[in-house]
Amino acid sequence: MTAGLTPQRSPGPPASPRAGRRRGRETLGALRHPATLALLPLGVLLLLFFILPIVGMAVIAVTVTAEDGSIGVGADHFLALTSGSHSQAILNSLQVSAVGSLIAAVIGTVTAFCISLIRSAALDSIVAVFSSVLANDGGAPLAFAFIVTLGNAGLVFSALNLDATGFSLYSWQGLVVMYQYFLIPTMVMVTLPTFMGLRREWREADAALGGSSRNFWLRVGLPIAAPALLGGWVLCFGAAFATHASAAVLIGAGGFPLIPLNISSLLGQSPSSQPVAMALGITMVVIAVVVLFLFNRLQRRSARWVQ
């Protein structure tokens, strides 16, 4: 049953101090290579538009001005997130992201599995192109397209008489529906390589040992695909959590509080409200880092079998 089910890259022996020093010398040598200068513009961009803004946000978020005018370090701005519209925005963002990513994970997984069964190179190329395009599409044009289609006067809304069902695009349910436009392609793009990597020999070995199709998926298929499926859901959760432009156009800043919308609203108010906005921004950064860390770890586990 387990014959032929070994990972493609088995873990090697623990790295010795000598191997660590050798890798350090190789890294230093690579940094000294003249071609490394080509990365200088990218490094400058990362420093100016990624590292410095995050450091600045963190400094502002933890800087507290006391009543006597003295400046210190504290968590007052983060504590302000636990009450009022900010706490509601956090709960709303978690709700929309969890529900939207779960729906996208189910639909995207089933879609990717069906595509993998067809085994068509032409279809795989078409799916790869459309998935990559749709997964990175969004913003005001996406919100406008859904307003024209599923808004109160939209074409599909009127044709299907959705008004009788109580559905409204300008609600958290409408956000979940709109997010599927880019979440489902994201899930397909992440999980399709895993389903394509499930080898026919594994099925044959299972069948030769008397296993059924259900037994194959419970003992082989799903355990191998699980890291990719979970990683796709985590990535979809992070994408839905950070969406701003589409939600802002669809429901506005005050219609349904979300973390990105609250940050935008606070930055447009008095300077005294900006530290709270920075605290919300740091919260989003932490969530994004956790999402990327989990996604990378899960993708590595999945790649051990399907590459």
Q: What is the pLDDT of residues 11-54, one digit of tens each?
A: 445 555 666 677 777 777 766 777 777 778 888 898 998 899 99
Task: Give me the residue label for tokens 């959760």.
Answer: 237
Residue of 289, 240, 242 whose CA lies nearest to 97: 240
- CATH classification for the domain delimited by 75-306, as one of 3.30.420.40, 3.40.50.300, 1.10.3720.10, 3.40.50.2000: 1.10.3720.10
Q: Note the pLDDT tens digit of each residue in 52-86.
A: 999 999 999 999 887 777 788 888 889 888 877 88
% of the chain at pLDDT higher than 90: 30
Task: Give me the residue label for tokens 């873990």.
Answer: 11
Looking at residue 32, its pLDDT comes to: 73
Looking at residue 8, its pLDDT comes to: 47
Q: Binning pLDDT at 50, 70 and 90, where does residue 208 land?
A: confident
> 65 - beta bridge partners?
71
- Mean pLDDT of all residues in 156-162: 88
What are the distances in angstroms from CA 124 to CA 127, 137, 198, 265, 306? 5, 20, 15, 42, 17
158: pLDDT strictly greater than 50? yes
Question: In angstroms, rounded to a whole number, what is the distance separating the alpha carbons of residues 101 and 72?
Answer: 40
Question: In angstroms, rounded to a whole number, what is the distance separating the alpha carbons of residues 144 and 148?
Answer: 6
Token pair of 304 as six digits: 């051990």
% of the chain at pLDDT higher than 70: 91
What are the distances in angstroms from CA 88 to CA 123, 241, 266? 43, 14, 15
Residues 6+ apart with CB under 8 A from 138: 181, 182, 243, 245, 246
236: pLDDT strictly greater than 90? yes
Looking at residue 6, its pLDDT comes to: 43
pTM above 0.75, yes or no: yes
101: pLDDT strictly greater than 90? yes
Burial of 178 (0-12, 13-18, 19+ CB in 10 A): buried
Distance of CA 222 to the CA centre of its chain: 22
Assess contact for 259 and 280: CB atoms under 8 A.
yes
Q: Note the pLDDT tens digit of each residue in 107-153.
A: 999 999 999 888 888 888 899 889 988 988 888 889 999 999 998 88
Task: Give me the residue label for tokens 């879609």.
Answer: 111
Question: In angstroms, rounded to a whole number, what is the distance separating the alpha carbons of residues 134 and 131?
Answer: 5
- Mean pLDDT of all residues in 178-186: 95
- The torsion of the CA quartet 67, 72, 75, 78, rounded to 10 degrees, works out to 70
- Is 67 in a helix, a strand, or coil? coil
Looking at residue 5, its pLDDT comes to: 47
CA angle 91, 191, 282 (to 5 degrees): 35
Q: How far apart are the first and last CA of the chain?
A: 20
Distance of CA 238 to the CA centre of its chain: 3
What are the distances in angstroms from CA 209 to CA 14, 167, 205, 219, 223? 36, 51, 6, 13, 19
87: pLDDT strictly greater than 50? yes
Residues 6+ apart with CB under 8 A from 29: none
Between 188 and 303, the higher pLDDT residue = 188
Lowest mean pLDDT among 161-165, 199-203, 289-293: 199-203
Looking at residue 10, its pLDDT comes to: 46
Looking at residue 185, its pLDDT comes to: 95
Assess contact for 228 and 190: CB atoms under 8 A.
yes
Token pair of 8 as six digits: 């493609």
CA atoms within 13 A on the CB side of 19: 5
> 72 - beta bridge partners?
64
Residues 6+ apart with CB under 8 A from 265: 253, 254
Looking at residue 307, its pLDDT comes to: 59
Averaged pLDDT score across all residues of the chain: 84
Looking at residue 104, its pLDDT comes to: 96
- Mean pLDDT of all residues in 241-262: 85
Looking at residue 181, its pLDDT comes to: 95
